[in-house]
Amino acid sequence: MKTYLTLVVLAGALATASFSALSVESLTTSTDTGQLRPAGTVSVSRASNLDDLQDKLAEKAREQGAKGFVVNAAGGDNHMYGTATIYK
């Protein structure tokens, strides 16, 4: 029983840590950036729609260690492409 309780507590702690590490926000205005500073740009292509494009940009921003991003440009017909400024 003690082992089971330990595993449950450990699983909860790991789940909380992984979700906080994966949180990258799409910032919509310059006031959203607050004390964050621009740290570069990311770009993606071959997204199927705008939601997919935003998800791919968020993943790239997350890989770069960003806390947020602002989409600069998006376009395309059958395959969307776009760029975003990342903030740390």
Is the residue at 61 inside a domain?
A: yes
pLDDT for position 56: 96
Indicate whether 6 pLDDT > 70: no
Q: Is the pTM of this model over 0.75?
A: no
Q: Which residues contact 47 (CB under 8 A, 6 or more apart)?
A: 53, 55, 56, 76, 79, 80, 81, 82
pLDDT band at residue 39 using 50, 70 and 90 as cut-offs: very high
CATH code, 67:
3.30.1660.10
pLDDT band at residue 11 using 50, 70 and 90 as cut-offs: very low
Q: Is 15 helix (H, G, I), strand (E, B) or coil?
A: helix
Query: CA neighbours within 13 Å on the CB side: how many for 52?
Result: 11
pLDDT band at residue 34 using 50, 70 and 90 as cut-offs: confident
Number of domain units in the chain: 1
Is the residue at 81 inside a domain?
A: yes
Is the residue at 67 inside a domain?
A: yes
Q: Which residues contact 46 (CB under 8 A, 6 or more apart)?
A: 79, 80, 81
